[in-house]
Amino acid sequence: MQIIYDSAIGKKKEFKPLKENAVSIYLCGPTVQSQPHIGHIRSAIAFDIIYRWFTYSGFRVKYIRNITDINDKIFATAENEKSTWWAVSSKYANAFRDSYKALGCVDPT
């Protein structure tokens, strides 16, 4: 039996997945307008631990981690770097992936 803290109700309760023996995790990823820092990476590490715990506990886990939509921050960085938004977002998306790998985070499924 898995016990989790449910912040919606403010107490611990038994975890019961929506589908038997299966868990889905969706992590809203970074806006890729600059180099990653510890504040960005913290959520990836936390969800990596959760993913590993559920896997260790025998659940089939579907893990999704996105990269946030292109937005004004990326356009501003592209302008400052005299580059295109797609070059900026690609460069920093790769920097995030490299950081996740360097820390040993599991790739999303």
| 5 token code pair | 């803290």
- pLDDT over 90, % of the chain: 67
For residue 23, the model assigns a pLDDT of 96
For residue 35, the model assigns a pLDDT of 86
| 21 token code pair | 């023996």
**What's the sign of the alpha-carbon dihedral 64, 69, 73, 76?**
positive
Secondary element (H or E) of residue 3:
strand 3-6
Strands 60-65 and 22-27 turn out to be parallel
Question: What is the rounded average pLDDT of the residues 71-98?
Answer: 91
Stretch among 42-46, 65-69, 79-83 having the lowest mean pLDDT:
65-69
Coil, strand or helix at 14:
strand
Question: What is the rounded average pLDDT of the residues 56-72?
Answer: 89
Question: What is the rounded average pLDDT of the residues 92-102?
Answer: 92
CA-CA-CA-CA dihedral for 74, 77, 81, 85, to nearest 10: 10
Placement of tokens 């820390």 in the chain: 103
